[in-house]
Amino acid sequence: MQRLQLQSLLYSLVLLLIVSCKSYQLTDAQPVKTSEKTVENLYFSSGEDYVYKCQMDIYKNHVSGILIIKKLNETTHRVAMTSDFGNKLIDFEISENDFKLNYVLPDLDKKIIINFLKNDFRELLKRKFPVSESFENKDAKIFLSKADNRAYYLFFNKNDGLLKSIIYTKNNKEKIDFTFEAKKHIFADSLNLRHKDFKINIKLFQITETEQN
């Protein structure tokens, strides 16, 4: 059953080339002045293990398992996923500029799958964002960070200061929405990663909260 799911997953990924997405525009927000030069996503900044129940939906295919994210140093994280039955699916180390694949299940060892996971987790684990512009709406402070043809909109809740979402765009096209639920700045209780141009959705749910300092 698991092998059939993985094969179906690959076939669905191949079909992603036929879809497109719209230009992104920030709405219901006003530009404001700010002294912030850099903002950060601190949710994966602790040296302790982040352990989540992981659900991936790609078109009509569903894959679930356990995902562990561990910070190895200031630039690199290790990401490992096992199936619900405890079988290792993939294990890799990733930073903003490097990627090392430690293990991948043969059924998942396809370039298109590896690239999706590499790109998605590279954006998720990106920590520092130089501020280009700032905005505000009734609920959030919004910071725009630009880098080449990429842009990130980071939404911080006005009440508790926690990062609630990141919208990643490329060539002014909305690519990925990251939505967080959290009670602490360094630990997200849940995460929803949703592609805008592909029918891909990754959800993470806390299993055990690590001891945080």
Q: Which domain holds residue 184?
A: 2-11+26-208
- What token pair was written down for 49? 């293990």
Q: Over the stretch 141-175, which tens digit does the pLDDT of each residue have?
A: 999 999 889 999 999 999 999 999 999 999 989 99
Residue 18, domain member (yes or no): no
Residue 179, domain member (yes or no): yes
Instruction: Report the greatest alpha carbon distance in the chain.
Output: 55
Band the pLDDT of 20: cuts 50, 70, 90: very low
Residue 20, domain member (yes or no): no
* Of 20-29, 74-83, 114-123, 143-152, the least confident: 20-29
Q: What would the mean pLDDT of 101-122 be, rounded to a whole number? A: 89
Residue 213, domain member (yes or no): no
Percent of the chain with pLDDT over 90: 65
- What is the phi/psi pair of residue 61, to 5°? -100, 140
CATH number at residue 36: 2.50.20
Residue 104, domain member (yes or no): yes
Percent of the chain with pLDDT over 70: 86
**What does the pLDDT read at residue 34?**
86
Q: How many domains does the chain have?
A: 1
Residue 16, domain member (yes or no): no
Q: Over the stretch 63-103, which tens digit does the pLDDT of each residue have?
A: 899 999 999 999 999 999 999 888 999 999 999 999 999 99
DSSP 49: -
- pTM of the predicted model, to two decimals? 0.85
**What does the pLDDT read at residue 143?**
97
CB–CB of 108/87 below 8 Å?
no
Residue 7, domain member (yes or no): yes
Q: Containing H/E element for 72?
A: none
Flag whether pLDDT at 179 surpasses 50. Answer: yes
- What token pair was written down for 80? 């490992």
Q: Hey, which bits of 85-172 come out as E strands?
A: 88-94, 99-104, 128-130, 133-136, 140-147, 150-157, 163-170
Residue 19, domain member (yes or no): no
